[in-house]
Structure 1
Amino acid sequence: MPHSAMRSTFERIVINQFTPLHCAQAREMLGWSLDCLSEQSGVSVPAIERFEAKEPVRDVTRLALAYSLEAQGLVFFPGFSPGRGGNVRGTTPDPMGREDFALIE
């Protein structure tokens, strides 16, 4: 499978399994404020607030949030709280290479 197809597959998985509740729980686990997550992810505080309130955000925004939290060793599975998984860092592709990266909210 070509690299871009793999990236797209991983991105779709993350977009469908990383939830607003995961984001809030992960911030709590790490002791991160909205400002800290914003700084780490490049996503604005209002966009994080919208996402955690279950309002729509762009896919690239969701990926940036998941990527920054996963870089801290967290893993996300549907129906479960975030967990620690030291061997899975980098599963979510860095959204910086996406064509729509400049559209992060």
Structure 2
Amino acid sequence: MASSAMKITLERIALFQFTPAHSAQARAMLGWSVDELSRESGVSVQAIERFEANRDVLDVTRLTLAYRFESEGLVFFPGFAPGRGMNVRGSTPNPMARADYAMVE
């Protein structure tokens, strides 16, 4: 189990690496609409649309989206389209199980 400091560091990396463009690109890769991503992640359609329009959302919302895509094996690097990782599993396979999930928009 990762230490609290390590968990915070990993979350910060995910926040800076996962961009609004990544969200739209990842949805396209998976063939998901905004409605499907909403159902899959538990994040509201409005919050996803705000995020993909480069508007503010809570960090926990952004992390939930990133982790949901990562659980599908996608990886994110700044400046590049999402890619499929080899045997990659997201650091949070079930974002809804996170303690801070209640804060998701």
TM-score (norm 1): 0.90
Question: Which residue is equivalent to 2:20?
Answer: 20
Stretches of structure 1 that go unaligned for 5 or more consecutive residues are none
With over 3 angstroms needed to count, the CA separation of the structure-2 counterparts of 1:40 and 1:14, relative to structure 1, is same
Higher relative contact order (CA 8 A, sep 6+): 1
Query: C-alpha displacement at 1:94, in angstroms?
Result: 5.5
Question: Which residue is equivalent to 1:42?
Answer: 42
Question: Which residue is equivalent to 1:88?
Answer: 88
Verify the 8 A CA contact 2:68 2:93 in the aligned structure 1. no
1:97 aligns with 2:87: no
1:61 aligns with 2:76: no
Verify the 8 A CA contact 1:7 1:93 in the aligned structure 2. no
Q: Alignment identity in percent?
A: 66
1:78 is paired with a residue whose SS is: coil
Runs of 4+ with deviation above 4 angstroms: 92-95
Verify the 8 A CA contact 1:10 1:93 in the aligned structure 2. no
Question: Which residue is equivalent to 1:79?
Answer: 79
**RMSD (Å) for aligned C-alpha atoms:** 1.8
What count of residue pairs does the alignment treat as equivalent? Answer: 104
With over 3 angstroms needed to count, the CA separation of the structure-2 counterparts of 1:84 and 1:78, relative to structure 1, is same
Verify the 8 A CA contact 1:63 1:92 in the aligned structure 2. no
TM-score (norm 2): 0.90
Question: Which residue is equivalent to 1:10?
Answer: 10
Spell out, residue by residue over 1:14-72, the C-alpha distance to the aligned partner (whole angstroms, 9 max, x if none).
Answer: 01110000000000000001111001111000000000000010000000000111111
